[in-house]
Amino acid sequence: MQRHPYSAGAVKVAFWFQEFRTLVELLSEGKSFKDIKELNEQENIFGASTVTRKKQIFSTVSARAKCMDESFVSLFTRCNISAQKQLALAAVMAKDTLFYEFVYEVIHEKLILCNYELTDADMDKFFRHKQVQDERVAEWTEATFNRLGRTYRGILTDVGILEKKNGSPRQIYAPLLDFSVEKWLNEHDMAEIVRALSDR
């Protein structure tokens, strides 16, 4: 799996599963990313509230899809909703290295230890550790870390890994990867994602 420089871009995005699903379905119909970009500009296919948001959603979900092999599209369209959400999560992790490391270093570690709670302190500890590791992260503001934390929690809640509630702690639900999803990830240089979402 390719690693990308740490980015705080996630402060402006969400899981956007339905939008990602729309993009993949259009790809399965033979449309190119350029076709979909033009369609979005003309028809606002993601139902965005502003022109800026419309462009941002397309940019984000297309970048995630481009991190996956071409065979991803046919697998995605054959899967049920639960497996599609797992694939969409894998695409987020493939695109956003910092988010992937959060899942691996925090969620995966807790699953191994059978500690099924995520606290605000867990998130703070993760971000402080990254500040020490990376000069760019060290320059980010507290507001940035808070927004990243909200985004990360939102993504994991939308995919069913975190309890849907406000406040801390939140229950962690161990994901049970669909067999076809796990197999595809292992065969496409993404075994790291499988490990990050497992209790092994």
Domain boundaries, given as residue ranges, for the chain: 11-66, 80-200
> Going residue by residue through the chain (200 aa), what tens digit of pLDDT does each one get?
888 899 999 999 999 999 999 999 999 999 999 999 999 999 999 999 999 999 999 999 999 999 999 899 999 999 999 999 999 999 999 999 999 999 999 999 999 999 999 999 999 999 999 999 999 999 999 999 999 999 999 999 999 999 998 888 999 999 999 999 999 999 999 999 999 999 88
Alpha-carbon distance of 144 to 10, in angstroms, equals 10
C-alpha distances out from residue 116 to 121, 152, 171, Å = 14, 17, 6
**Paired residues of 118 in beta bridges:** 170
Task: Indicate the pTM of the whole model.
Answer: 0.95
The region that residue 165 occupies, defined by phi over 0 for left and psi between -120 and 50 for alpha, beta otherwise, is beta
Structure tokens at 192: 């790291």
Backbone angles phi, psi at 103, to 5 degrees: -60, -45
Q: What's the topology of domain 80-200?
A: 1.10.3540
**Distance between CA 133 and CA 136 in Å, rounded?**
9
Identity of residue 31: K
Tokens of 26: 């259009």
Q: Residue 11: how many CA atoms within 13 Å on its side-chain side?
A: 13
C-beta separation of 58 from 36 below 8 A: yes
